[in-house]
Amino acid sequence: MILSQKILLITAFAISLFGITSCVKDDQDITPSIASIAVTNADFSTLEGAAIQGGVAVVLSNANPSDPSGDYTVFAPNNAAFARLGLNTEADLAVLNDAFLTNTLLYHVSNGNLIGNTIAAGGRSSSALGPDRRFVQRGSDLYINGSKILATDIQAENGTVHVIDKVLLATGVDIVQSALALTDSKVFITPELTFLVEALVYTDLVGALVAAPGSPSFTVFAPSDAAFKQLGVDLGVALNTPADIRKLPKETVAAVLLNHVVADGGKFTSEMNGGAIAPLGGISITLGVFTNGTLTVKGNGNSMVANMIIPDVQATNGVVHVIDRVLLP
Amino acid sequence: MQKNRLFSFLTLLVLPILAQAQSPVSGFMNGKGNSVIAVSYSAEKYDKVLLSPNDANGVPVFNDVKVNSASLYASYGISNRFDAVLSLPYISAKGNANESVLNELGYENTRSGIQDLSVFLKYNPYNCNIGTTSLHFMLGAGVKTPIGNYKVDEGLQSILAIGNRATSFNGLAIAQVRFNDGLFLTTQAGYSLRNGQVPNALIGEIKAGYAGKHIYVDAWFAGQVSDGGVNILGEGFQGFFPATDVSYNRVGVNVYVPIAGGFGISGGLSQYLNGRNVGQSVGFSGAVVYSF
């Protein structure tokens, strides 16, 4: 075979290759679904794991059957938002109760398209879980509950995605039931707030925090179990189990608990400012400077500030912030 | 004379053995009464999934996936113009999911088993010579059907499914040109009809190579374009992967060396270039081939 014929054949080969290559389907005209955005964006890898574990990945791949538009709006927490809760990888999600995780995801979702420029400060938006979320303007930033909206209007085939810097948390029940949910491992698979619940029972303060028609809403700073154990160390009283709370005088425990409750309608971190606030106990507690979506809080009798380890948990009669230190009057 | 010598290797038939993505039939005929049996091994790995419109770095749940397979391959020349080809792979797919994730989801990191039996017939109705160059035209028809009891309906666990459980009926048209110095070029195109929810597909392959007395090498480019199907995480996706639009282009190379007494060994490399709803795997393969 002469050289020119070979060149001709190789050319034909190359053209054939090009022909096959051009058969590859074009992705340019396809808009990703909300689930696809979560799975293909590296900054949503924990959300991806949560959507899979929570059983909503397939749901968010498809049109919304509950809305005429077929769309959802999702406030999507980025990886840093999950990391605030110690959830750094999808494996860390195993600490969460499955039903709670699913409900938490649904709290981030609403029916229809809620476009960024239609979100108004002071407004509310109902969630697929049920409880409303409220929008707060703080400086030039817009928040949903205590979560800053970092980016708006990522268009998906089945709706709209807005990026937020904190996971939205709602229990759908009142403050007492919320604490009991934590105690009964309905949030984390390991019980939490067990000392606080025992203290509320011991001091007969449960009734004050139960939601009832016309009852007020509160901001509650809820010390974690570790916070109570640290208190025991500080006081020289062994607080190893919740029942050990009863070693302390009832009146003292009641005074300490009332130091954690503020009858202000229930405020998210986005609505708080540094300075003194008055809890039900009457002696001021002090909020630190609002920094990166959170504030420290310090009781009059504390030498060190408490940090919010789980801020902005919405209950039906207020907002709970789980803190790492008991606030002493 | 040289041409006869170059193309007398029955072992040229190794070329479809090495990778699942390659067409099960080659452009060479066995010749009446001649047989080839081969046992092959392949290993592939991917940590990127080609999706539409955007790809996913990191395989959901499983992070990365390794696919190992061992296949039995046989072909027999019923006549000079008819070949029968059979292949049966055993496949093991292993993910790399964190144990706590597996426990939480009730998933496992491995799925394995006997996959699909392929039986193809190849017919060579026409050959001609143009000077020292010969042209060969063939038709292939075959069935591929699941033999093992592997599952495909386990939700996201089925990211590791070893097949799609479809029975497919495949038709292929094959053309090959051979030069007297050992170079050859084979093209084939066909259509695969699949049952169940698995979309039908257009399939094609171009292969160029050299077949000498002491060595055989080729480079290939293969593609599949599904005729329908849904995109993973797209509208209509219900977590059932066999119903997805699996389309891709893939390239690879093969080399074969005859040893002695009808035995030879072969090896190959392959890589997905682009596509959708498929892991972008890179892999290698090897085979021991016996011709008689």
For residue B5, is pLDDT > 50?
no
Is residue B145 classed as helix, strand or coil in its secondary structure?
strand
Residues of chain A with C-beta less than 8 angstroms from the C-beta of B231 = 30, 36
pLDDT in tens, A129-167: 999 999 999 999 999 999 999 999 999 999 999 999 999
CA-based end-to-end distance of chain A: 99
CB A269 within 8 A of CB A312: yes
Q: What are phi and psi of A240, to 5 degrees?
A: -95, -30
Q: Which tokens in the block code for residue B28?
A: 């060479």
Prediction ipTM score:
0.89
- B179/A6 Cβ within 8 A: yes
CB B50 within 8 A of CB B277: yes
Q: Which tokens in the block code for residue A4?
A: 């020119």
Q: Which tokens in the block code for residue B34?
A: 């001649």
Which is more confident, B11 or A1?
A1
- Do you find a cis peptide bond into B53, omega within 30 degrees of 0? yes
The per-residue pLDDT for B8 is 42
Please determine, looking at this structure, whether the domain spanning A175-323 carries the CATH number 3.30.70.2740.
no
pLDDT in tens, A298-316: 999 999 999 999 999 999 9
Angle between helix A45-53 and A98-107 (nearest 10) = 120
CA B153/CA B243 separation, integer angstroms: 11
Mean pLDDT of all residues in A244-252: 94
The per-residue pLDDT for B27 is 78
Nearest to B237 among A6, A9, A61 (CB): A61
The per-residue pLDDT for A179 is 92
Look up residue B64 and give its amino acid. Answer: D
**Whole-number average pLDDT of chain A:** 92
Residues of chain A with pLDDT > 90, as a percent, come to 86
The per-residue pLDDT for A23 is 58
In a mutational test of the A interface, the residue from B57, B63, B225, B233 whose CB has the highest number of chain A CBs within 10 Å is: B233
* Residue A288 CB contacts under 8 Å (≥ 6 apart), including other chains: A274, A295, A296, A297, A298, A305
Q: Where in chain A is the domain with CATH 2.30.180.10?
A: 34-168, 175-323
Structural domain for B14, as ranges: 2-291
Q: What angle do CA A242, A246, A249 make, to 5 degrees?
A: 140
In a mutational test of the A interface, the residue from B47, B59, B104 whose CB has the highest number of chain A CBs within 10 Å is: B104
- B53/A31 Cβ within 8 A: yes
* Residue B67 CB contacts under 8 Å (≥ 6 apart), including other chains: B42, B43, B44, B45, B91, B92, B93, B94, B162, B281, B283
Mean pLDDT of all residues in B170-176: 93
Nearest alpha-carbon partner for B36 in B18, B9, B69, B6: B9
How many angstroms from the chain centroid is the CA of residue B168? 14
pLDDT in tens, B270-291: 999 999 999 999 999 999 999 8
pTM of the model: 0.90
Nearest alpha-carbon partner for B74 in B40, B112, B27, B32: B40
- Residue B120 maps to which CATH number? 2.40.160.40
How many angstroms from the chain centroid is the CA of residue B74? 14
Confidence of residue B1 (pLDDT cuts 50, 70, 90): very low
pLDDT in tens, B241-274: 999 999 999 999 999 999 999 899 999 999 999 9
Residues of chain A with C-beta less than 8 angstroms from the C-beta of B52 = 25, 27, 30
Taking CA–CA distances from B130, the nearest residue in chain A reads A1
The per-residue pLDDT for B22 is 61
**A16 at B interface, C-beta within 8 A:** yes
Residues of chain A with C-beta less than 8 angstroms from the C-beta of B180 = 1
CA B16/CA B174 separation, integer angstroms: 13
- B206/A13 Cβ within 8 A: yes
- A98/B276 Cβ within 8 A: no
- B100/A91 Cβ within 8 A: yes
CA A299/CA A259 separation, integer angstroms: 8
Buried b (16+ CB within 10 A) or exposed e, B230-241: bbbbbeebebbb
Per the structure, the count of domains in chain B is 1
CATH code: domain A34-168 is 2.30.180.10
Q: Where are the alpha helices (DSSP H) in B62-175?
A: 99-105
The per-residue pLDDT for B12 is 46
Residues of chain B with C-beta less than 8 angstroms from the C-beta of A49 = 101
Residues of chain A with pLDDT > 70, as a percent, come to 93
- B101/A32 Cβ within 8 A: no
User: Based on the number of CB atoms within 10 Å of its own CB, is B13 exposed (0-12), middle (13-18) or buried (19 or more)?
Assistant: buried
